[in-house]
Amino acid sequence: MTLQCRRAGMKIVVIIIGALLLSEAVLAGLDQKQQGHNAATAAKAGAKECEPTPEAVRGKELYLQNCARCHGGDGRGDTPLGKRLQASDLTDPTWQWETSDQRIAEIITNGEERMPAFGRKLSVEDVALVVAHVRTLRAKRPHATASNQE
């Protein structure tokens, strides 16, 4: 094969690769546009939150009956008893990230430091429902601090 034929072949390969890259970019742009359209359509339609499952409702009920006295209904631990006992802020993003579901279940079941054990009062299934509810309490946005209020 001559040098001229090789160059022509290379040009074709470069053109094909360029066309593939261009088509990939176009498809990615269309996909992003479609995702944005879907989000905008849902927002315009006033998309409602999903109805909570019976398990979620039961988990919240159990939490309110057994945990809210110290941790508060919102999980922040700022009730009078929670402040006195230094109850954990269950909405804290760091706590939510670092504490596994299994660890939360162990603490609920066996107690820890100032927190009483609920293992005799709540079944394993009830504890799992409370853990699931605790996960819904994570803060929606970070707490304001002096440095980010300025």
| 24, HSE (Cβ side, Cα atoms, 13 Å) | 6
120 and 102 in one domain?
Answer: yes
State the residue range of the domain holding 39. 1-44
Residue 44, pLDDT > 60, answer: no
pLDDT top residue among 70 and 17? 70
Assess if residue 79 is contained within a domain.
Answer: yes
Cβ neighbourhood burial of 85 (10 Å; 0-12, 13-18, 19+) = middle
Assess if residue 147 is contained within a domain.
Answer: no
Residue 146, pLDDT > 50, answer: no
Assess if residue 30 is contained within a domain.
Answer: yes
Instruction: Determine the Cα–Cα distance for residues 107 and 116; give it in Å rounded to an integer.
Output: 9
61 and 29 in one domain?
Answer: no
Residue 2 three-state SS: coil
Does residue 130 contact residue 59 with C-beta atoms inside 8 Å?
Answer: yes
Closest among 145, 144, 130 to 57, alpha carbons compared:
130
Residue 129, pLDDT > 90, answer: yes
pTM for the model stands at 0.60
